[in-house]
Amino acid sequence: MHRRIAVLMGGVSAEREVSLKSGKGIAEALRQKGHEVHEVDIAEESIVPVVAVKPELAFIALHGRFGEDGGIQGLLEEAGIAYTGSDPQASRAGMDKMASKCFFITHDVPTPPFRLVTAAQSWEKVEAAIEEIGLPLIVKPLRQGSSYGVSLAKTGEQVATGLAEALKYGQHALLERFIPGREFTVGVFDQAALPVIELRHSHQIFDFNAKYTDRGTERIAHPEIPREVAEKLQELALAAHRALGCRHFSRVDLMLENDGCPYVLEVNTIPGFTEKSLFPLAAREAGIPFADLCERIVDLALTPVAPGVEV
């Protein structure tokens, strides 16, 4: 069935350029499937241009603030417009790294030890947090994606520098224990885990440059790990997705420590849909071409869910 679909892209966050690429790819895929597609560039925190299109569905390809934080989802619900991806509550939980950690802990999903830091905290309290976690550690903005503002700190001075950068994106940041080991990501689609993807790069951490500009970064499908380890990573990804109450799809980032212990880092409720993006790659490995993936997401978003049925 052909639908009138608004693809929401751009947005107001630091991830605007990535979002535009995601949106363009989705729009082209849905046109290939015969849908009437309207590309809507969200330039402010408003859905007025979406309402003007009168779509049957809003396909959200927005990353970061007013995309993954539940803001636009809440407005679309108020306007009675169906949309793809997670609801406002799950979106907020996924975007807020502190909230995500709390949900992980509540649902017994292993995640690296962490401490919350605020811009108003004294350095003495930051030093106490560093002491509790131990160096090296990762410094992260509380609500940001695409690894903007993320850094690896091996000394107190590097923590201070990292916090100065992370706090450009808000008044809170997270200090998280650095997990030495191999990095993986697992997509979740329609309540099933997709094949495991390993990330190999020459950077100290999988930062923005490693994700989007370094041609040497490898995205390895079906990596060389024991079958039981791959299944454990998939199991944890699905558990993290469900812990936050996500629906339709997500992408879960994990670390496998050198001693074999797995940890969930975070859940991306609207992962990238660019030519370099990991979620579409995992779907292709599961036998779902990009255009089919986009159309199946549309179908999921427009399928009524019976009361009591887990989504």
User: Of 230, 246, 232, nearest to 95 (Cα)?
Assistant: 246
Instruction: For the chain, list the domains and their CATH numbers.
Output: 4-85 (3.40.50.20), 113-177 (3.30.1490.20), 181-287 (3.30.470.20)
What number is the average pLDDT over the span 259-277? 92
Q: How far apart are CA 132 and CA 152, in angstroms?
A: 17
Task: Give pTM, 2 decimals.
Answer: 0.91
- Which residues have a catalytic role annotated? 15, 146, 212, 251, 253, 266, 268, 272
What number is the average pLDDT over the span 273-277? 83
Neighbouring C-beta atoms of residue 87, cutoff 10 Å: 18
Mark out the alpha helices in the chain (DSSP H runs): 16-32, 48-53, 71-78, 88-95, 97-106, 123-133, 156-166, 208-212, 227-244, 278-285, 290-302
Q: Tell me, what's the pLDDT at 143? A: 83
What number is the average pLDDT over the span 263-277? 91
* Placement of tokens 């995205």 in the chain: 219
Q: Tell me, what's the pLDDT at 222? A: 87
What number is the average pLDDT over the span 256-276? 93
Q: Tell me, what's the pLDDT at 163? A: 96
What number is the average pLDDT over the span 237-258? 97
pLDDT bin (cut points 50, 70, 90) of residue 307 is very low
Task: Give all strands of the β-sheet with 57-60 in edge-to-edge order.
Answer: 36-42, 4-10, 57-60, 82-83
For residue 140, the cross-strand partners are 174
Q: How far apart are CA 101 and CA 97, in angstroms?
A: 6
Backbone CA torsion sign across 94, 55, 20, 295: positive
pLDDT bin (cut points 50, 70, 90) of residue 310 is low
**Contacts by 211-214, CB closer than 8 A, 24 or more apart:** 211/146, 211/147, 211/276, 212/18, 212/146, 212/276
**How much of the chain, in percent, has pLDDT values that exceed 70?**
92
**Residue range 68-105, pLDDT digits in tens:** 999 999 999 999 999 999 999 999 999 999 999 999 99
Among the ranges given (7-11, 25-29, 63-67), the one the predictor scored with the smallest mean pLDDT? 63-67
Provide DSSP, 200-237: E-SSSS--HHHHHT-TT-EEEES-SS-HHHHHHHHHHH
**Residue range 145-202, pLDDT digits in tens:** 657 789 999 999 999 999 999 999 899 999 999 999 999 999 999 999 999 999 987 6
Backbone CA torsion sign across 149, 196, 107, 87: positive
pLDDT of 305 > 80? The answer is no
Q: How far apart are CA 56 and CA 299, in angstroms?
A: 11
For the chain, the straight-line distance linking the first and the last C-alpha, in angstroms and rounded, comes to 23
**How much of the chain, in percent, has pLDDT values that exceed 90?**
84
Q: Tell me, what's the pLDDT at 213? A: 55
Q: How far apart are CA 140 and CA 114, in angstroms?
A: 10
What number is the average pLDDT over the span 128-153? 89
pLDDT of 209 > 90? The answer is no
pLDDT of 128 > 70? The answer is yes
pLDDT of 62 > 70? The answer is yes
Q: Tell me, what's the pLDDT at 1? A: 75
Q: Tell me, what's the pLDDT at 243? A: 98
Backbone CA torsion sign across 246, 252, 258, 260: positive
**Residue range 226-245, pLDDT digits in tens:** 999 999 999 999 999 999 99
What number is the average pLDDT over the span 250-254? 97
For residue 117, the cross-strand partners are 173
Q: How far apart are CA 293 and CA 289, in angstroms?
A: 6
pLDDT of 266 > 80? The answer is yes
pLDDT of 206 > 80? The answer is no
